[in-house]
Amino acid sequence: MIDRTTTFLYPRFPIPSRLHLELLMTLARRDFLAGTAALAATTALPAAAAGSNGDAQALALLQRHAEALLQDYPEGAAYLGLDTGSRAALKGRLTDRSAAAEAARRAGAAERLTQLNRIDPAALSPAVAVHVETVAAAHQIGVEGWRQMPIGDMAFLSNNNYRSTPYVVTQGNGAFVDTPDLLENKHQVANRADAEAYIARLNAYAKQLGDETERVRADAAAGVLLPAAFNEITVAQLRAGAAQPAREQGMIRTFGEKTRKAGLGDDWEARATAVVEQRIAPALLAQADAIAALRPQAPAHGGMWSMPDAARRYAWLVEASTTTKRTPDEIHESGLEQCRSYAAELDPLLRAQGLTQGTSGERLAALGKRTDLLFANTDAGRADLLAYLNTVVARLRPRLPQAFGKLVRGNLVIKRVPPAIENGAPNGYAGPGALDGSSPGIYYINLRDTANWPRFELATLTFHEGIPGHIWQGEYTFDLPLIRTLLGFNAYSEGWGLYAEQIGAELGYYDDDPLGRIGYLQSMNFRAARLVVDTGLHHKRWTVDQAVRWLMAATGYTESRARSEINRYCIWPGQALGYKTGHNEINRLRDDAKARLGSRFDVRGFNDTVVQAGGMPLGVLAKVVDRWVTAQRG
């Protein structure tokens, strides 16, 4: 069911969005084009007045702002392949996570917003006007976010840790989650300077942990404490990380492999091990102890409703995630309605499988327990599951020209979430890799329990995370100005991920796989259910167990998987609302385009327009699609 009641936000430079800025949406550009060169590879918008003085000045300003963001968040250079040449010094740095640095970033963002608001949109071509409008909107909502929520993780731009949260450190965010992944998977080592930069980053990692610990204490003094259940999970993960022998850690083991492959000798791993043992492990333990000490004061519930200014802060998070003015109550009711619609659509398919009794959730749960649909919960079973995901990708690739006029590579590898963080990690996530193929996109799946992943659910997940979802969409941003590649918008990104699942179904993937179609509809229903449980937790004051039971009943998910999802919504309030909001809006725009164009409507042209637009507020996307429709009508 498509929700057609969305109202968008229109502030001064017009449409804001909360920037859940995703440097998982990355590229590798060794030397990124600057100034007017960026205009040559832009969105599907008309390029009238290209090369005008107004465009040149605006693009130059956007490039300077991108460079400023990379200085603030130097990890981005590794993800983007920009840590060479004039930016080589970034390779030995990490984001400063101290309170003072956070304040400086806030001031810098406010100044950039002032500069953006001085630009006259009338002096720009349509394409560049969209770039400026999008970047200004991101800065505006980011600055407003810092004002509304001067607590927790309010990173304006970051590599992995891009979701807004009231909490500095949780089981799903913090330096202990982000930095080891960066070092292991993205820090390239080709020479001694690269290796020294790696050692420098290990030392900086220890400082990050200490700075975060101070901010955790400061937020606690202001009445913001991680709920007790997540306090325990986070402390356990931190202590496990500190206890793991250094040479067994991925970031140290792979460092040794990288330096040996580069012919740099064997002493580097020993140096890195010393940093872990002498600085990082003690900092992890200190952070664990500081968080554990707060447990007696921690709230027993999972929602953010008991913290100071909770209603106002949650309302902002809702607006930020969805780029709409819809209230939590409206979103809650919309989710219930959509779940009822999907249950009705699932009913005949489940009956065809002999599942005639019980609610759709109960029947989905029964289907998910069929042993012939499960992978063994062993290392061999996990390897089989990963191999199956690769067959899904291979089977879909030849169909993509039916959905897109312009194709990208879709360069990806599929990996298990590292076991050290899987208890706090999402069930699946992904981001694109380097333009030159040196660093593929990584699609992670959480395999702590393979019972969470019946075979019939895996194709639609792969379309969402891999192709034509996040990794596929992210590669189109390689053709945008650098700052547009840096910025991401939750409702657009996750809305596209759901729309990618829809594309897979429309390409006939499930024509001979009725169980797979059930998995697809279950996934859509699950995202509608998120509208209910997120608002239930943070607005209606549901308990964690209440939300888990509701999600299990609605989706048929195992308790383990449902609890993992609910734990995620507790620490990232509002983020789960962007998926269905964005998906519904993309479909609304498509329906409108079909109605206006009639027989001239080309779904490939529509898909190209949306995917090439890049991350932006949904209201700006509506303008982009409207211009495409107008152009098609002549």
Residue 410 binned pLDDT confidence (cut-offs 50, 70, 90): very high
Beta bridge partners of residue 442, listed in sequence order:
413, 431
Q: Which residues have C-beta within 8 Å of that of residue 579, sequence separation ≥ 6?
A: 494, 495, 497, 498, 527, 530
Is residue 481 within 8 A of residue 59, CB to CB? The reply is yes
For the residues of 18-48, what is the DSSP string, one character each? Answer: -B--BTTS----SS---GGGGGGS--SS--T
Domain ranges (residues) in the chain: 35-305, 314-583, 586-633
**Does the structure show a pLDDT above 70 at 595?**
yes
Mean pLDDT of 410-416: 95
Q: Which residue do the tokens 């734990």 mark?
A: 567
Strands 441-445 and 412-416: parallel
CB-CB contact of 317 with 485 (8 Å): no
Q: In this structure, what token pair is assigned to residue 516?
A: 């797979």
Helix (H, G, I), strand (E, B) or coil at 370: coil
The model's confidence at residue 257, banded by pLDDT at 50, 70 and 90, is very high
In 184-204, which positions are buried (b, 16+ CB within 10 angstroms) versus exposed (e)?
Answer: bbbbbbeeeebbebbbebbeb
Q: Residue 307: what pLDDT?
A: 94
Tokens 């325990």 -> residue? 232
Residue 380 host element (H or E) = helix 379-396
Highest mean pLDDT among 52-61, 145-154, 202-211, 562-571: 202-211
Q: How confident is the model at residue 162 (pLDDT cuts 50, 70, 90)?
A: low
- pLDDT tens for 266-282 read 799 999 999 999 999 99
- Residue 266 and residue 260 in contact, taking contact as beta carbons nearer than 8 Å: yes
Exposed / middle / buried, residue 543 (Cβ in 10 Å: 0-12, 13-18, 19+): middle
Amino acid at 274: A
The C-alpha atoms of residue 428 and residue 158 are separated, in whole angstroms, by 19
Burial state string for 116-143 with b = 16 or more CB within 10 A and e = fewer than 16: beebebeebbbbbbbbbbbbbbbbbbbb
pLDDT score, position 478: 86
Q: What is the mean pLDDT of residues 322-342?
A: 96
Can you tell me whether residue 406 is helix, strand or coil?
coil
Residue 26: pLDDT band with limits 50, 70, 90: very low
| Per-residue pLDDT reduced to its tens digit, 211-226 | 999 999 999 999 999 9
| Residue 343: pLDDT over 50 | yes
Residue given tokens 């549901």 in the structure block = 542
φ, ψ of residue 431 in degrees (nearest 5): -165, 150
Residue 431, pLDDT > 80, answer: no
> Which residues partner with 489 through β-bridges?
19
pLDDT at site 487: 85
The pLDDT of residue 52 is above 90: no
Reported as a single tens digit per residue, the pLDDT across 531-555 is 999 999 999 999 999 999 999 999 9
- The CB-side HSE value for 323 (13 A sphere, CA atoms) comes to 38
Rounded mean pLDDT of the chain? 89
What confidence tier does 10 reach under pLDDT thresholds 50, 70, 90?
very low
pLDDT of residue 455 exceeding 60: yes
What pLDDT shows up at residue 44? 41
Distance of CA 130 to the CA centre of its chain: 22
What pLDDT does 438 receive? 77
Given a contact cutoff of 8 angstroms between Cβ atoms, the answer to whether 442 and 431 are in contact is yes
Averaged pLDDT, 184-196: 95
pTM for the whole structure:
0.87
pLDDT, tens digit, for every residue of 369-397? 999 999 999 999 999 999 999 999 999 99
Residue range 283-299: average pLDDT?
99
Amino acid 573: pLDDT = 96
Q: Please, where are the H alpha helices in 407-489?
A: 458-465, 470-476, 482-486
Res. 30: pLDDT tops 90: no
Beta strand spans in 432-515 (E): 441-445
Confidence check: pLDDT of 504 > 80: yes
By the 8 A CB rule, do 251 and 180 touch?
yes
Q: What is the pLDDT of residue 500?
A: 99
Question: Residue 229 corresponds to which tokens in the numbers above?
Answer: 């259940």
Mean pLDDT to the nearest integer, 87-102? 96
Place 155 in a pLDDT band, splitting at 50, 70 and 90.
low
Band (17; pLDDT cuts 50, 70, 90): very low
Q: Which residue has the higher pLDDT, 433 or 563?
A: 563
Instruction: State the amino acid at position 199 in one-letter form.
Output: I
Nearest to 121 by CA among 196, 187, 57: 57
What tokens does 177 get? 């989650």
